[in-house]
Structure 1
Amino acid sequence: MRHRRVDLVLRLHDQPSQVGRPLPGHLPNRRGRSSLAAKSIKGEDGGMRRRLLRIMVIAAIAIGAVPGGPALAAPAEREAPLLRSTDPGAERFRPVGRLDASSQCTATVVSPARPPDPRARALVLTAGHCVGRFAANDVRTGVDAPAGWTFTPAYFVDTADRHKPFPVASIRYATMKGVDLAVLELAASYGDLAAIDVRPLELSAAPPPEGAPIEVVHAPVDGLPQDQQFLRLSRCRSGTRTDVAESPWVWYGASPNDCAGVAGGSSGGLVVQRDGRRVVAVLNTTVETRVSGVCKLGRPCEIGPGGAVIRPGTSYAIGVAPLAGCPLDDLACRLDPGLGAAPSDTRVAVRSEGARWDAALDARGRTHARIKTGPLGRTDCRNPAGYGRPFAIEDRPLIDDPLPAREDFYVLCVVSGQGSEWVPARFASFTTVQVDDTPPVVAPVVSARDLGTQWAVEPIFQIFEIVHYDIKYGAPDEIDCADPAGYRPYRRIPAFLDKTQAWRYCAIGYDLAGNATPPKAVDLNPA
């Protein structure tokens, strides 16, 4: 069940190639999977119920998305201007273009050497989540790219008739663990790109400057007509670097910004200093306005000693300094190689009563591990201090220690080894969870559509405040919404109620932790 859930964890910010979007405020229907999850919840204990609530909401968000693509990417509230090839300074951005991979993103041709060997295969840099689905600790290296993946450089609106896509040959490196970066190899050389006047940008060895003016070049898709889905230029400022969590992922030292126009398709976009020619970062995530919650999918939060803070209207970028100075054949030489034992992604949120970590350890060839736990943002997995004594993974394959009863976000850190060789703490694996005993702050919403001789009645999801419903209905004199008896899981299928009688429809909403709303009663009376 955990493996199935991890496979469904998708990003919210990039545009899948061909996706039918759900309506705002609704989770899309997919009767097979939703019904199965709902059926599994019925009659289970509280722990299983919370676990399945997590699966259900992620499955519902994923409906309609191609692998690795998001389902609820939102259009930007402020547009950035389109970038034309004739604009002053636009020649700097010819290496930037459209990546058509597991989702539509933005990518940039890069090279650690200048000038690169024209015979060498060209590399492009983008966000890790643009090339597939990742659990919190996944790292991929040396993987052949699926057929059909392409990169189109110089993706200007006024040169559409000259756009030339190049096939992507392989994923050199990709991860969402600690950073959100991917290096792809094209089935074309730097010389092939130079023939169309596309030359790579160098990577900055310094992190994004705090408070400095930056330029972001990206190709958003969501909310834009097809003839405007080309490169755009945002001029803004880079904020103070911060750690960011968007369950189940944590990214260290991300740079916040208030750049306009960031939307689905912008991920992987180029970030340079104003008038600069070196890549300092790539766009990673943004705070969505169509969903609620803190540190959840589409609602990244900043984490630190003061706890978790969400900043509406903020986007984040991941610095590329770890790539600078690495050779062309090992551009990710300073990044996590993905060799350590990893805990499974547990749940997004749980109630405190009886809550445990419930995290299975994937040994990945390691025999022993050490762990530490604590509040997220105040517990640094990269700091070797605070880890417990080593234990054999085969003796303790499941970390089921109790979670604290206090409401907060928590992290479980794991370092592992075999013999005298241990993964350094800077590459520690982790999983996170929220202890949440607070009921949803919104009331259930029930829709009753008039179909003439019937009403089609269904509750409306409000991600992430209400992700599941229990319902019941009947004649008003036979149904008491305050009585817990008779409720059953809502299976994503409307109730079709004949207008030959009056009806009372009752709904109780639940959040990811399983906290319940007061019951909602809707009375329907024939005219």
Structure 2
Amino acid sequence: MNNKLQHLLLMTLVSVSLTATGAPPERPENTLPVGIVKLSDHPENRSRTWTGIGRLRGENTAFCTASLIDTRNAPLATATTPAYVITSHRCLNTRNFGEYTYAGGTRHNTSMQGTLFFNNFDNTLGDVKSYAFKRVAWQSDGGLNLAIIELDTTLSELMAKGIQPLKIAQRTPPAGTEILTLGIPEFSNLHAMHCTQLAPVDVASYPWVGAKVLGNQCADLTHGGLGGPVLSKFSNELISLVVANNHGANPDNKCLANAPCELRANTAHWRPDTHYTQPVSFLNQCFVEGKLAANTPACDLYKLTSVAVEPARQPPARVFEKGLTEKEAGPDTFDVGVTVDSPLYRYKYTHDAKACRDGSHYSQAMSAKDATINFTLNNQVGLHMLCIVGVESHEDRLTSAQFDAAKIITVERIEIQPQVPSLQIDRYRHYREQYVAHWNHNIPLLDHYKIKFGPYESTDCKTPEGYAELLDYEERPRDSGPWESIYPHKDHPTDASLILIKQTKEQLIDGYYSKIISSGENALTLCTVSYNLKKEPSQPRMDILRPL
């Protein structure tokens, strides 16, 4: 047999061997899905354990995520073990659930109409499984931003349909732990993102304040991910729930609703593109024989009193630093109306959220009937906090869990500084060449803008001549109003149908004022100066509008 024939025979044997044995087994790293998730047939693929991550749907909309949890005290669920899902309390609002009303505080066993949709994978669109709510078993808007919902079915029935619960981790792992953050974004299916866990931090997103929540910067999970689970990459156990994020939020709005900030000492800090998550390992102590037992001493939900603030008497998120005349006029004072479900309450005024968890310097126990707290701020720039806890008697000794769950009201006193002009410039080349400039008025400390524009060679942004204030006067038909201020048209004073108007900030669409600037053959200079609430000007911003 010559060498060529031997080589051909060897190649044929190798080919037959590969055909007989089939493709090599899936590598271990391929069993951990990242990005949009498909349900895999591979028995070791992690997606097989994520069938119990569902989309929360109310009467009106469905942009939250919830997770079925494993509450069994034995390997097999009994026929009567309830099915519980957990999510962020902030998902249970009238925008999602219509007639459902919630005034704040802690709530137990409340009726609610809603549905959970399981099996939300990219390749199971025709096999989504839905189950109705039975009740909201527990809900709080305090330090524990959490809702526990009982479904109108049992855990064993769900598992028989292939819907698997997530096991809750026994303890919260340290910062640096590799995690998976999962959620169901708006108009999409289950996504999984991989990153590392950050250290615990106190967070504010008006009017909510959360103590010792975790952070992560897993990407690509935005609207719809609220309530989604955070899992250990290695054990697949449930560590925490997403309760807030600031993806896409404006840093100028830090600490406001949907723009959570971090509270460090007496200062609010902005960490962009961050999820904040509520640890849930304590829930392992809150189920007995598969049923929620929030009233047992071993559970951190035990004796958590309900403290709710009357919405009409909620202090603002921000006040501004005082000038000399304002200081002479006296401090900012707010009469905060609270509803407490215990006979008594105690409170503390501080500049640091950590002090709310320290039992010292709280007031004496006071009657909770028709409770009003006089919240008077000093003139210090930074955070001002009112911590409130309910107590059963004058001798009641609170636990660390109760102080951790204190109701915290924050007001930030902001130093007024010159504002950087904020505008966007678009270019259009249609029937004529023009620019459209859009000035952003959604800036909290902004009072107004002044602008000017002219030939590039002769327009100096640093000189005061030629500036005009925005909002500018615009020509409009008289019947296009109503307008707050109307002025006779200077070029057509006898034409009753044409007027000049000057809009207020509140009348602007999305808070932007737009102006068309026609382009010619030569470049233009556009100058913008912003003024803060003290009427202090910023440095001029110069934009060059080149010929189109």
Taking the aligned partners of 2:34 and 2:418, their CA distance within structure 1 comes to 35
CA distance in 2, matches of 1:380, 1:201: 35
Distance in 2 between the 1:394 and 1:194 partners?
A: 47
Equivalent in the alignment of 1:362: 338
Q: Indicate if the aligned counterparts of 2:419 and 2:446 stay in contact, CA closer than 8 A.
A: no
- Note if 1:233 corresponds to 2:192: yes
Q: Count the aligned residue pairs.
A: 416
Higher relative contact order, chain-length normalized (CA < 8 Å, sep 6+): 1
Higher strand share: 2
- Equivalent residue for 1:329? 291
- Tell me the alpha carbon deviations over residues 394-427 of structure 1, each in whole angstroms, 9 at most, x when there is no partner: 69724142x1212101111123445447583514
Match of 1:461 among 426, 441, 447: 441
* C-alpha distance in 2 between matches for 1:446 and 1:290: 17
Matching of residue 339 in structure 1 with residue 306 in structure 2: yes
Partner of 1:89: 46
TM-score after normalising by structure 1 = 0.67
Matches of 2:309 and 2:63 in 1, distance apart?
29
Deviation at 1:245, TM superposition (A): 1.7
3-state DSSP of counterpart to 1:112 = coil
Match of 2:275 among 307, 315, 336: 315
Cα distance in 2 for partners of 1:320, 1:391 equals 32
In structure 2, the residue corresponding to 1:91 is in which secondary structure? Answer: helix
Deviation of residue 193 (structure 1)? 0.9
What's the offset of the Cα at 1:213? 0.9
SS in structure 1 of the partner of residue 157 of structure 2: helix
| 1:443-458 equivalence runs, <5 A | 443=421
Is the counterpart of residue 203 in structure 1 residue 168 in structure 2?
Answer: yes
Alpha-carbon offset, residue 509 of structure 1: 8.5
Question: Residue 125 of structure 1 aligns with which residue?
Answer: 86
Task: Give 1:361-510 correspondences, 5 Å limit.
Answer: 361-366=337-342, 368-377=344-353, 379-392=354-367, 397-401=372-376, 403-417=377-391, 419-420=393-394, 422=396, 424=398, 426=403, 427-439=405-417, 441-443=419-421, 460-462=440-442, 464=444, 473=473, 489-492=504-507
- Say which SS state the counterpart of residue 252 (structure 1) adopts: strand
SS at 1:381's partner residue?
Answer: helix
User: 2:226 is matched with which residue?
Assistant: 267
| Counterpart Cα distance in 2 of 1:291 and 1:310 | 10
1:300 aligns with 2:265: no
CA separation of 1:515/1:99 partners in 2, compared to 1, >3 Å: closer, same or farther? farther
Q: 1:288 is matched with which residue: 235, 247, 270?
A: 247
Amino acid corresponding to residue 46 of structure 2 in structure 1? G
Q: 2:145 aligns with which of 180, 189, 201?
A: 180
Q: Deviations over 1:81-122 (max 9, x none)?
A: 111111622111111121213642111111321533233331
Change (3 A) 1:213 1:490: closer
Tell me, in whole angstroms, the C-alpha distance in 1 between the residues paired with 2:110 and 2:423: 46
Distance 1:271 1:332, change over 3 A: farther
Per the alignment, in what secondary structure is the counterpart of residue 161 of structure 1?
A: coil
Structure 2 length as normaliser, TM-score? 0.65
Mapped to 1, the partners of 2:415 and 2:425 lie a distance apart of 28
- Kept in 1, the 8 Å contact 2:416–2:445? The answer is no
**Is the alpha carbon distance of 1:171 and 1:395 closer, same or farther for their aligned partners in structure 2, counting shifts above 3 Å?**
closer
Q: Please list the CA deviations of residues 415-452 of structure 1 after superposition, one character each: whole Å capped at 9, or x if unmatched.
A: 344544758351432211001131462337699999x9
3-state SS of paired residue (1:160): coil
1:263 is displaced (CA, Å) by 0.6
Partner letter of residue 87 of structure 2? Answer: T
Do the aligned residues in 1 keep the contact of 2:179 with 2:233 (CA within 8 Å)?
yes
SS in 1 for 2:244: strand
CA distance in 1, matches of 2:71, 2:198: 26
Separation in structure 2 between the aligned mates of residue 292 and residue 136 of structure 1, nearest angstrom: 29
Match among 156, 159, 162 for residue 194 of structure 1:
159
Residue 320 of structure 2: aligned partner: 351
Change in CA separation of 1:215 and 1:448 when aligned onto 2, cut-off 3 Å: closer
Shift of 1:299: 2.5
AA in 2 matched with 1:407:
V
CA contact (8 A) 2:105 2:308 kept: no
| TM-superposed deviation, 1:143 | 1.2
Aligned in 2, Cα 1:422/1:339: closer, same or farther, shift over 3 Å? farther
CA RMSD of aligned residues (A): 4.2
How far does residue 346 in structure 1 lie from its aligned partner after superposition? 0.9
Q: Following the alignment from structure 1 to structure 2, what is the Cα–Cα distance between the partners of residues 169 and 421?
A: 38
Structure 1 counterpart of 2:109:
142
CA distance in 1, matches of 2:537, 2:345: 44
Q: What is the match of residue 66 of structure 1? A: none
Q: Is the 8 A contact 1:342 1:414 kept in 2?
A: no
TM-superposed deviation, 1:158: 0.5
Change (3 A) 1:138 1:193: same
Alpha-carbon spacing, 1:363–1:124, altered in 2? closer, same or farther (3 Å): closer
Alignment CA distance shift 1:150-1:463 (3 Å): farther
| Unaligned runs of at least 5 residues, structure 1 | 1-78, 480-485, 498-506, 521-527
Q: Is the 8 A contact 2:81 2:154 kept in 1?
A: yes
Offset of 1:177 from its aligned partner? 1.2
SS where residue 119 of structure 1 aligns?
Answer: coil
Shift of 1:459: 6.4
Distance (whole Å) between structure 1 residues aligned to residue 536 and residue 331 of structure 2: 20
Say which SS state the counterpart of residue 358 (structure 1) adopts.
strand
Superposed CA offset, 1:449-499 (max 9, x none): 99x9xxx999643355559999574899999xxxxxx998544267999xx
Deviation at 1:287, TM superposition (A): 2.2
1:98 and 2:55 matched: yes
CA displacement, residues 279-301 of structure 1 (integer Å, 9 cap, x when unaligned): 11112222233422332223322
Q: Quick one: distance in 2 between partners of 1:459 and 1:135? A: 38
1:285–1:317 Cα contact (<8 Å) kept: yes
For 2:385 and 2:51, how far apart are their aligned partners in 1? 42
Report the Cα distance in structure 1 between the residues aligned to 2:390 and 2:343, rounded to whole angstroms. Answer: 7
1:170 counterpart SS class: strand
Shift of 1:233: 1.5
2:438·2:514 contact (CA, 8 Å) conserved in 1?
A: no
Local SS of the residue matching 1:380: helix
Bigger Rg, which one:
2
Distance 1:213 1:340, change over 3 A: same
Q: Distance in 1 between matches of 2:256 and 2:390?
A: 28
Cα distance in 1, alignment partners of residues 159 and 342 from structure 2: 45
Distance across 2 between alignment mates of 1:258 and 1:410: 28
Compare 460-469 and 101-110 and name the one that shifted more. 460-469
Given that 1:136 and 1:248 are in contact with CA atoms closer than 8 Å, whether structure 2 keeps it comes out as: no
Which amino acid in 2 is paired with 1:231? L
